A and B are shown apart, each in its own frame.
Chain A
Amino acid sequence: MVKRRSIARFVIMSIIALIMLLLTVCSFTIPFTSTNYNGFINSIPLGFDYASGVSVVYNAEKTQNSDNTLSQEIESTLSKLDRFFSYHGFSEYSIKKQGDDQIKVEVLKEQYSSVMLSLLESPQQIFFTVEEASDELTPTSYLSSSDISFAEVSYDQNAAVYGINLTLTNLGKLSLESLKSQADIVGSDTVYIYLDEINSSNLYGEIAVDKLGQTMFISSSSASNTSSAYSEAYQTASNIFVGTFAVELSQQSMTTITPKLGENAWMWTLVALLAFIVALMAFLWIRHGDLGLIANLILVFFVSLQFFFMQAIPFVRLDLGGAIAIFLSILLFVVSQIVILERISKEYSIGNRIHVACKNGFKKSFWRLFDLHIIALVSSVLMLLIGKYTISYFGGVVFIASLVSFFCLYVLFRFMLNSYLPLNSTKPAKMKLYREANVKEIKEEVPSQADQKTDSEIEGGQA
């Protein structure tokens, strides 16, 4: 009865492993629908190393109010462009000054949006005045685009409207003071905001003097909380931010570029990964017999789950750094399996019976593997939080691996080994377990005094 249940478990787990493997690797059209299923591997977002991109070259021209050389102005614009792309959710991009008067931007093809990039070509200047413009009067601006370091769409909870949050530069703070003092002199408690030019038709909105600050919320007179108001505020915020650039950009060319590592790099990485896994599987099987085969089955679960989470969790993107992390993840898992299997061999060699050896193998490896996974987990979280791009992706992959690995080891591996024991608890040769002829089998399941000591010390640590 017990044997039959074990066989059933093995069959079910093997079928699940096969299905997971197919879901990981294969792409197909879901029957009776027009939906395409891509497979976990094909759904992982790729970085520039593996994915095609779009390269856009902009011609740069100095804006009128600039005193520096064009080259200097372009360099100062690069950092603002960096902020622009980062704010608009581009996970990978590259910004370069090309020659003397051009800026080259590369974004991933899947993230390319002509609408988004066209925002770079539509700057809007912003002006703050203390008097309202009219046909007769063009008031002086005391705070303008050059004083603003960033503009982003925002929501005012009190007024329940979408608007724009402006952040001033350090020099902008001085301009803000002169704006406030001018408002005092004129006796106005309202400041008027104009876009593009100061005239009555370009009035964007008003703001009370007491609401002026290094960061301030402005909204148009027609602002509301609808989605169209959000889109409008979003576009205006982008235009205002682009208006703070020291150069004006116009698109010169746009080209599609192949992946940095070549067109088939991802396929080659997968082939290498497959060869690596097969080499490890062969080793586990040769070295540990049936136990190695069980370890191989769990390795399939691990790889499938790893890829599943990598495509499901948004902070993972695969470049060469991520690929190294996948190799590392598999190593972490296989090293942990070897630690358990070697421990089982050791337990058997000192005279324990097979089921006791397996039980002790897991028990006595626990703290060793717990330490390993905790360090990997925390280190990867640190890399994820502190690192950028490559390192962050590296941390992301290892983070997933350390959780999935521990689950696979202490839930799946243990479960499968327990299911195996009723099938074979008398033939150690099948599991490549052996002991010297002079070692007698321990009949009772009582750990030796030395073993008890080892257990308590390992589990408790130094404390």
Chain B
Amino acid sequence: MKNKITLNQKFDRKIANCKTNFSKLFLIFIFISLAIIIAGAFVAGFVGYNLGSDFASLSSIKVYTNSEGYTQTFESYDIENAEDYNLVLEKVDQVLAKHNTSIQSAQKTTVDFLEQNIIDAKAVEITFFNDPSLTEEEQKALNSQIKTDIMLAFGYQTQDAIALENGVSDASILTDYNHNKTIIYSSIIAIIVAAVFAMVYMVCRYEKPAFVTVFLTIAHNILLTLALIAITRIPFNLATIGVICFTFFMSVINLMIFYSKAKELTASGGVDQANGKAVANETTKANLKTNLYIYAAIFVLSILLIAFAPSANMRFFALALLVSAVVNFYSAVFVTNGMYYCVYKPIKKKRKFI
């Protein structure tokens, strides 16, 4: 009886009969990686990362709106209403654009206590990017001009307007206490220590050259992710550090799967264990399905977030996640096998038992 061939079988056969020699392509791909890493290093070195709210130099300004509408002098904005809220942001953004800057973040605030004894007033607190070429004094002068322009844009003529729950606060430069830097340093140390542990573990469980492969693969993946983040100008925030940790873990998962599969193939005699390239190639093919499925799920997730997430910060985070997933998939399929066979040494075994 002839068996019916399912889609799964077709797919499995297609992969099994795949003629692509992944190991042969290694040099091309490592060259591409190096080119991207160098380009990223140039961008990061000369232009810098597109620093997000957690690391950039920012100023803050508060726009008070008369949500009750009982003051006839000014137009009323109810910031709980999305349309009004967007209108407020639009007006501020237009003013900031005139001064070559932009809104970094906006938060609705309820003023519970203020010097002027205002209770329950509504305001939008907006942080915007400082001009890095300006001195502190010049930035202060610019902020003062921005404040005046925003007041004009809303029709608020005097400082006293604040007392009527309408007006604009002074724009102040924000100087962050450097605990964000502490987070970066502690993250770097944590990732390095974790990577060293992974290397030692792999050496104990598999073979000595695994040390080199693990080190190179993790370094490659993290550097490539950082380079792409620099080139694509995705804002560098604390969430980006989370994405780097994600890259690290995914690299380790890929390496573990790769090494255990390689070991299984060589031990079962499924591949000529004297030929490192063949081992690497067959292992990549054997893991291709798993990699395809897993990364397809991450791509779907990232694209969903990019398309539908309500805030720009979330969309940027999804973009960084997508970059990390692309790098890990690329590394798992095209790079790790090359790193593996470059340092591959066939294990000398007592053949008499076979």
Q: In the assembly, what is the distance between CA of A451 and CA of B237, in Å?
A: 49
Contacts of A78 in B (CB 8 A): 177
B257 part of interface (Cβ distance < 8 Å):
yes
A247 part of interface (Cβ distance < 8 Å):
no
Taking a contact as CB atoms closer than 8 A, the residue among A82, A251, A254, A257 that contacts B107 in the complex is A257
Contacts of B183 in A (CB 8 A): 387-391
Contacts of B198 in A (CB 8 A): 375, 379
Contacts of A388 in B (CB 8 A): 179, 182-183, 186-187
B207 part of interface (Cβ distance < 8 Å):
yes
Q: In the assembly, what is the distance between CA of A299 and CA of B237, in Å?
A: 31
Q: Tell me the residues in window 195-217 of chain B with beta carbons closer than 8 Å to chain A beta carbons.
A: 197-198, 201, 204-207
* Contact A378 B194, beta carbon cutoff 8 Å: yes
Q: In the assembly, what is the distance between CA of A81 and CA of B305, in Å?
A: 37
Q: Is the interface of A mostly helix, strand, loop or mixed?
A: helix
Give the nearest-CB partner of B270 in chain A.
A450
B253 part of interface (Cβ distance < 8 Å):
yes
Q: Is the interface of B mostly helix, strand, loop or mixed?
A: helix
Q: In the assembly, what is the distance between CA of A319 and CA of B296, in Å?
A: 25
Chain B: minimal CB distance from A33 (Å)? 33
* Contact A272 B301, beta carbon cutoff 8 Å: yes
**What 0/1 pattern do residues 226 to 270 of A give for CB contact below 8 A with B?**
000000000000000000000000011111111011111100110
Taking a contact as CB atoms closer than 8 A, the residue among A79, A387, A451, A454 that contacts B177 in the complex is A79
Give the nearest-CB partner of B79 in chain A.
A258
* Contact A375 B308, beta carbon cutoff 8 Å: no
* Contact A386 B186, beta carbon cutoff 8 Å: yes
- Which of A128-136, A149-157, A305-313, A327-335 lies at the binding interface? A327-335
A-B contacts counted at CB < 8 A amount to: 260
* Contact A342 B174, beta carbon cutoff 8 Å: no
Contacts of B253 in A (CB 8 A): 331-332, 335, 372, 376
Taking a contact as CB atoms closer than 8 A, the residue among B177, B298, B301, B314 that contacts A81 in the complex is B177
Chain A: minimal CB distance from B311 (Å)? 4
B44 part of interface (Cβ distance < 8 Å):
no
Q: Tell me the residues in window 6-44 of chain B with beta carbons closer than 8 Å to chain A beta carbons.
A: 6, 8-9
Question: What is the interface residue range for chain A against chain B?
Answer: 35 or more
A427 part of interface (Cβ distance < 8 Å):
no
* Contact B293 A283, beta carbon cutoff 8 Å: yes
* Contact B269 A368, beta carbon cutoff 8 Å: no
Contacts of A386 in B (CB 8 A): 186, 189-190, 193
Q: In the assembly, what is the distance between CA of A323 and CA of B239, in Å?
A: 9
* Contact B179 A391, beta carbon cutoff 8 Å: no
Contacts of B239 in A (CB 8 A): 49, 319-321, 324, 390
Chain A: minimal CB distance from B286 (Å)? 9
Contacts of A368 in B (CB 8 A): 256-257, 260
* Contact B297 A280, beta carbon cutoff 8 Å: yes
* Contact B110 A375, beta carbon cutoff 8 Å: no
B173 part of interface (Cβ distance < 8 Å):
yes
* Contact B177 A463, beta carbon cutoff 8 Å: no
- Where the two chains meet, the residues of A that have a C-beta atom closer than 8 Å to any C-beta of B are 49, 55, 75, 78-79, 81-82, 94-99, 102, 104, 251-258, 260-265, 268-269, 271-272, 275-276, 279-280, 283, 287, 319-325, 327-328, 331-332, 334-335, 338-339, 342, 364, 367-368, 371-372, 374-376, 378-379, 382-383, 386-391, 394-395, 398, 432, 434, 437, 449-451, 453-454, 457-458, 461-463
- Where the two chains meet, the residues of B that have a C-beta atom closer than 8 Å to any C-beta of A are 3, 6, 8-9, 53, 60, 105, 107-115, 123, 125, 170, 172-177, 179, 182-183, 186-187, 189-191, 193-194, 197-198, 201, 204-207, 237-239, 241-243, 245-246, 248-250, 252-253, 256-257, 260, 263-264, 267-269, 289-290, 293-294, 296-298, 300-301, 304-305, 308-311, 313-314, 317, 321, 353-354
Closest 9 CB pairs of A and B: A321-B242, A99-B172, A379-B194, A320-B239, A262-B311, A97-B175, A386-B190, A255-B109, A368-B260
Beyond A368-B257, A450-B267, 17 additional pairs, beta carbon < 8 A: A55-B109, A82-B177, A96-B174, A96-B177, A98-B60, A99-B170, A254-B113, A255-B111, A261-B311, A263-B108, A276-B297, A283-B293, A320-B317, A324-B242, A364-B264, A394-B242, A457-B267
Q: Can you name 10 A-B residue pairings with CB atoms under 8 Å?
A: A94-B176, A252-B114, A253-B113, A256-B110, A260-B53, A339-B257, A383-B245, A391-B245, A434-B6, A458-B264
